Amino acid sequence: MKVTPAQRNVILLGAPGAGKGTQAERIVADFGLPHISTGEMLRAAVANGTEMGREAQKYMESGALVPDEVVIGVVRERLAEPDALAGFLLDGFPRTIPQAEQLDAMLAGAGRAVTHVVLIDVPADELVQRLAGRRSCAGCGKLYNVTFDPPKTEGVCDVCGGQLTQRADDNEETVRNRLAVYEEQTAPLIGYYTERGVLESAFGGGKLPDEVYAQVERILSD
């Protein structure tokens, strides 16, 4: 389904492993929004060995959050690009209340505001199981899950034939650390955006990506 243009300034919220990447792909295709993933932008900076990338890498390898000033700088530059002026899908940002406040101020300065916050809500036990099975293509970056969304041939990308790899920060110890960090710092955002009347939840526990997306689509069509 293609949706007519409207100002949608969307934030996708959910714990690591909630399936945000899959939902983001479909939102981008249907609603025509640029996908602004701070995780992807930071990983690209790390891969390119930029100064910011080297700084971010120290935190990402231990499962900690990259400091606000680094992430906010990246987001500010990206939101000012022409394709983001008519709407956007933010994924991986904000992660803390101070980041959310900075985003609100940034948008208000341009006469804009967050219009939709979509929470993909998945129970913690299921998240651990999902993260351990997560793989991504070294060639094109497509995401898979060995349990929930396997490739046709084990270890090989359906799209480009590239090799599937596990991200360093998906190992079990780092996964537990990331979920703890999420609970402590990001879960308060649910309250923040609920108070502002922009948050709605899509329930993802035990559900297929299609079933989750049907809920997401309804939320964003309002």
Interaction site with Zn ion (CB under 5 A): 137, 139-140, 142, 157, 159-160, 162
The question of whether 95 is a catalytic residue gets the answer yes
Q: Which tokens is 61 given?
A: 């390898």
CB of 37 to Zn ion, least distance (A): 17
Q: Which is nearer to Zn ion, 95 or 135 (CB)?
A: 135
Q: Which is nearer to Zn ion, 154 or 222 (CB)?
A: 154
Of 8, 43, 78, 95, which one is the catalytic site residue?
95
Q: Which is nearer to Zn ion, 41 or 137 (CB)?
A: 137
Pairing mode of beta strands 116-121, 164-165: unpaired
- d(CA 52, CA 48) in angstroms, rounded, equals 10
Burial of 32 (0-12, 13-18, 19+ CB in 10 A): middle
The question of whether 152 is a catalytic residue gets the answer no
Q: What are the angstrom distances between the C-alpha of 191 and each of 27, 81, 100, 219?
A: 24, 30, 12, 18
DSSP characters for 7-23? -EEEEEE--TTS-HHHH
Chain Cα centroid distance, residue 217:
17
Residues 6+ apart with CB under 8 A from 204: 14, 18, 19, 120, 121, 122, 212
Q: Which is nearer to Zn ion, 80 or 159 (CB)?
A: 159
The question of whether 218 is a catalytic residue gets the answer no
The question of whether 178 is a catalytic residue gets the answer yes
Residues 6+ apart with CB under 8 A from 97: 188, 189, 192
Q: Which is nearer to Zn ion, 6 or 47 (CB)?
A: 47
The question of whether 8 is a catalytic residue gets the answer no
CB of 183 to Zn ion, least distance (A): 32
Of 20, 78, 130, 135, which one is the catalytic site residue?
20
CB of 138 to Zn ion, least distance (A): 8
Taking a C-beta distance cutoff of 8 angstroms, is the pair 157, 151 a contact? yes
Of 112, 142, 167, 207, which one is the catalytic site residue?
167
CB of 170 to Zn ion, least distance (A): 17
CB of 156 to Zn ion, least distance (A): 9
- Residues catalogued as catalytic: 20, 95, 134, 167, 178
